[in-house]
Every structure is written in structure tokens, then in C-alpha cells.
Amino acid sequence: MLEKIHSPADLKKLPAADLPQLARELRERIVAVTAKNGGHVAPNLGVVELTIALHRVFDAPRDSIVFDVSHQCYAHKILTGRGERFDTLRETDGVSGFCSRAESECDAFGCGHAGTALSAALGIAAARDRLGGNEHVVAVVGDAAVTNGATLEALNNVAAHTRRLIVVLNDNAWSIDRNVGAVADYLNRLITTDFYNDATSGLRRLIAKFPCGEHLIRAGSAWKQEKKQVITAGASPLFENFKLRYLGPIDGHDVAQLESYLEFAKKSPRPILLHVRTQKGKGLPVAEEHPDRFHGCAPYDPATGLPAAKRAGTPPPWQDAFGKTLVRLAEKDEKIVGITAAMSAGTGLCFLKKAFPDRYFDVGIAEGHAVIFAAGLAARGLRPCVAIYSSFMQRAADMVMHDVCLQNLNVLFCLDRAGLSPQDGATHHGLFDIAMLRAFPNLVVMQPKDEDELADMMFTAFSRGGPMLIRYPRGAAPGVPAKSVPAALEIGKAEVLREGDGRVCIWSLGAMLPQAEKVSERILEETGARPTLVNARFVKPLDAELLERQAAAGARLFVTLEDHALAGGFGSAVLEALSLRGVGVPVERVGWPDVFIPHGSSSAALRSRFGLDDDDVAARVVSRVRALL
């Protein structure tokens, strides 16, 4: 069937009898490509029938279909002209893993973070109304996104800003971890009540007894409209009180039923919400059993679910080092607690969850709330650790400033994925946290070179108190075991790893140390200068005294290396410190340019493209050294 589909128009021509086969082929294609390239497996397998129904009922790109997060857009991409290129998913110059307006006009809105779809769709609908259009606007919102503040803010405004908007609530009971909180409990009650189950099965049995009853059931016509009134009357005061008509729950894997409800929604004279129930990971047994592991994953074996073989001797990832260290520290300090925004495994807080479940808090996809919640815990004397991906912390910058830093509360922020996140691309690169947060008074910003230094920094944060932030990258850590007893670091003091002749000083931040060492070797080989190598440790406060001493001792060039945007980053902090002290030594900054970095097959591929691989950086720095010596 897939060979016949090059656009949504081709999909509409298929007879209904062919749709189950099409759904199977879509799942097979998604599994085959993600097994090779990695990606968001379980979310995409769960929405195959829903995506088929959406594109059979609506006319993209004229009608706008806005996917929340868009980590469930793979079937959408295949059905909208990108099927032949789908093998390049998440590869350099290949198909993006998320919706992208630059990639296709069928991608009505680009995103990679939760909670954006409803606000964006409402804006598109309001613009349509203002411009006199009559096209349809559909927001496909995950149940996890309903716990997000932006979604609730949008719900509050829907009825005030448009009379025509279709919201599809894709309810699979999971975000990345299993959904938590009152909204999750509420949606679960809607689909598990005896009333709903009895009404559904009872009506189906009753209608089946009539002549052509089975046909009516499959067609989803008159009896379904009657069933809607029975099942949904008063069933969802939550959405009805926001002035959205509520229909459901609906079987998200029955294309005929979905098409019937979507056609009905097109005629609604007021905003309408369809509550669609799906199974995350459907069609791949290991993903059905472990939807959390297969939310987003590296290449894997579809038969076993095991990750593709790792290179022998690869150390555990940074998040595991963080999570295990937090447990060690929590064993000695009962005031330490951990907070995640629906990502216990991804951040490493799963270790605390297992060791001290009563000291572990999952707030759902609500990063802003997580930070203010941590501030409240700290105000009563606890020592909260908030573990969030760097790119997701962008959503809570105001709370970090207003609720933590302004009150100088004892909150530790641990930012995973700080730096490049290659396959996910621009929405997930952690390239802006330093620039975004280092201006906040009272906040200490650190980055370790290895696991041992990470443990020292965490110990320092809990010992000293005040707002503290530690950033570290995605992927395997260097493999340096932590000491049995961590050591407290002197705040704002860098570590001189190797003294040179004083003419060139290389300041490396965190995981950039291996590249700094290679650059240092090339400088010595090609110029004869023996660089001084510094592990910066602290972005704020920066060790400005060491910078000044090195300048006074005859430094001719400072080189800074960071896995961060150059604008406002670590190198900028060094420039500022030198300028404030009246030091005129040139600075060669190595970091990411002032553009949004796209997705790529690997960090190495992207570094090569932007002139940031080891050879390019070394050549550039050597050229600068030769010009100055």
C-alpha cells in the first residue's frame, strides 16, 4: 500500500478495506527505520490509525494539522510526500524527527517541546477567522501535554478567540514516564468507568441485532451519534467548562470510527474535543511492554528490544553518573530530594526513585512548576535537586530567576543534554543555557570534566547551599570513577591541568577537554609554544584572578572551548572578565555560531560541517598563534 501513497490525495483513494494493511506497513516502516537510526518509536506506533484518519478526513496543507511535541509525526511525514526519504530520518541532511515548516508545507507548525500545539492551533484558527478563511484547524494534543501550563492557558482562551477548532486528545496514559497527577487520574476515570464500558458494549450488542446492524457499527453513523449523547453527557465537566464540546473516549485504532467522529467534528458550530484512546508502542511487542524505554531510543533490535551493540568498554552515560551520585549523597543527607518533569530514566533520577521513593517527585511535563515547587521545598529547609534537560530548562528561566535566585534558595539544578543533541536537532540542542542563566545574581554555574568532578560539584552544591547549576552533556561520560568521599570545591576556582610556557592559555569547559588537549599538542608540534591547559570548572563566578595572573605573566593568546553557543557563552564571559580588568590579550573562542544548528547523524558530522572538529579547530588556533608569536 505504501508504494501507492505519495500525498494525502493518494490516501483518500484507497478503499477502506485496504487501511488495516496500510497501517501494518506504516508500522513496519517505522520500526525498520528507527531500529537503524533510533528515534521516537512508541509514540509514533501509537498514532498510525489516527494519522491515517486525519489525512483522509482533512486536506493538508490547506487544513492545518498541528502536532504537539511532534514526536508522533512519522506516519504523517510518510503520508505527506516524504516516504521515499524516510530512511534518512534524523541523519545529516535527512528527514527531521520533528515537524518542520522548512521541510514541508504539510507541517503546519514546527515544534519539539510539549504543550505548544493548542496555543499554536488557536493562533492559526484566529488568523483564519480574521482573514475570512474557512479551512479547518486541528490540534493533536497528547494527554501528557494537558498537564503543561501552556496548554491550560490555551484552553482558557479557546472559546474567546474562535468558534471553530478541533482538538484531538491523544490519550495513551504516558508522556515519557507514566503520566501522573490529577489530570491523568481524571482521564483514566473517563475510560475505565463501568458506565462507559457497559454503554459501549451494550449498545454494540443491541445495534448488532438490527438488520444491517453490523454495517451501522462499522460505518459509525446514527448509532454512534446517539452513543455520543449517552456516553458523553456530563462525562467531562473539565473540558465542557472550558466551553469545548467533549466527545469520547474513542477507539484510536479503529479508522472507521475515527473518520466518523472527525467528520462530525468538522461540522461543529463550537470548539470540540475528541478524546482518543491509543496504545503507545502498538504493533511492536517490546514497545507495548516498555513504552518508556521506547519513547525515544537509540538503534535497537526489533526482535529483542535490546540496544544495538555498543563499542566495547563504553562507559555509562552522564545521567547514570549523576543519578548514582545523588543516591550516595542522599544516603547521608535525608534533606536531599529529587524532582523530574516526567523524565526519571532520561535524567537518571530513576536511581533515587528506586532507593528513596518518598524523596522522589515527578511533576509531569511542567518544568516551570518543577522549579517553583523546588523553591517551596527549599523554603522549608529541604535540599531539592531539579534534573531537567538543558533545552527544556528554557521553559523555566523566569522561575529560576524569580523564585529561586531572587530568594537565594538552596536549589541544585542539574542540566543533562547540555551541548549538542545531534539526532534531535535544533529544538533539543542544549546550546543556550549558559547565556540564558548566567546573568542571574546568586546563581553558581559549573561544568565538570568527568564523573569524579561531577560528584565533587554536587557535594559542593549541597554543602554550600544557594542556587547552583551543573551542566553536562548527552552520552557516555569519560569513565573516571568518583572518589569514595567527594571533595568540596572552592567556588569560582579553575584547575590548572598543565603549566606551559605562558604564551598560550587554553581554557576548556567540561567535556571539551579532549579537544583542548589535541589543540594543545598541535600548537606545540607546529609552533613550539607549550600551552597552559586550564579546566575552567566554573562559568560563574569565573576565575578572573587566574586570567589576570596569566595575562600578567605574558600570555599572548587565550583560547576558550565550549559546547555552547558563542553568543553569551563561556567565551563571552572570559572576554567580559578580561575587559573589566583592563586586560587586552586576544581571545580565540571556539563554540557554536549564532544560528540554529540542525539535526545530524552524529556530533562529529555536525562539528565537521561547522568547522568545529579537532583538525579544523587546531588549524584555526595554530594559525592565530603563529600570527601572534
* Binding-site residues from annotation for Mg(2+): 143, 172
Which residues pair with residue 387 across a beta bridge? 340, 414
Q: Is 395 a catalytic residue?
A: yes
Which residues pair with residue 557 across a beta bridge? 504
Residues present in the chain in total: 629
Q: Using the Cα atoms of residue 187, residue 193, residue 199 and residue 202 in order, give the sign of their dihedral.
A: positive
Q: Is 367 a catalytic residue?
A: yes
Annotated active-site residue in 56, 245, 277, 280? 280
SS3 content of the chain, % helix, strand, coil (to 5): 45, 15, 40
What whole-number distance in Å separates Cα of residue 437 and Cα of residue 456?
Answer: 22
Query: Phi/psi at 588 (nearest 5 deg)?
Result: -100, 110
Cβ atoms 80, 73 nearer than 8 A: no
Cβ atoms 251, 146 nearer than 8 A: no
> What's the count of helices (H) and strands (E) in the chain, helices before strands?
27, 17
Give the burial class of 278: count Cβ atoms within 10 A of its Cβ; 0-12 exposed, 13-18 middle, 19 or more buried: buried
Task: Give the single-character DSSP code of 466.
Answer: S
Query: Phi/psi at 589 (nearest 5 deg)?
Result: -95, 135
What whole-number distance in Å separates Cα of residue 545 and Cα of residue 552?
Answer: 10
Question: Taking Cα atoms as reference points, which of 245, 237, 282 lies closest to residue 261?
Answer: 245
C-alpha cell at 521: 599538542
Q: Is 280 a catalytic residue?
A: yes
C-alpha cell at 474: 548527552
Question: Taking Cα atoms as reference points, which of 165, 279, 265, 166 lies closest to residue 225?
Answer: 265
What whole-number distance in Å separates Cα of residue 182 and Cα of residue 160?
Answer: 26
CA-based angle 432:321:473, to the nearest 5? 20
Strand intervals (E) in 92-235:
137-142, 166-171
Which residues pair with residue 393 across a beta bridge? none
Question: Taking Cα atoms as reference points, which of 618, 616, 612, 623 lies closest to residue 586?
Answer: 623
Question: Taking Cα atoms as reference points, which of 389, 374, 395, 404 lies closest to residue 150?
Answer: 395
| Pairing outcome for strands 587-592 and 557-565 | parallel
What whole-number distance in Å separates Cα of residue 108 and Cα of residue 444?
Answer: 40
Residues in CB range of 532: below 8 A, 6 or more apart: 496, 498, 499, 500, 501, 502, 504, 505, 506, 550, 555
Q: Scanning the structure block, which residue is given the C-alpha cell 557563552?
A: 569
Residue numbers belonging to the annotated binding site = 71, 112-114, 143-145, 172, 367
Annotated active-site residue in 367, 451, 562, 588? 367
Per-residue CA distances from 262 to 58, 454, 505 (Å): 9, 51, 64
What whole-number distance in Å separates Cα of residue 51 and Cα of residue 482?
Answer: 48
Annotated active-site residue in 353, 395, 417, 522? 395
6 three-class SS: coil
What whole-number distance in Å separates Cα of residue 325 and Cα of residue 268?
Answer: 54
Cα 618 versus chain centre, distance: 33
Residue numbers belonging to the annotated binding site for thiamine diphosphate = 71, 112-114, 144-145, 172, 367
What whole-number distance in Å separates Cα of residue 508 and Cα of residue 518?
Answer: 12
For the annotated catalytic residues, the residue numbers are 280, 367, 395
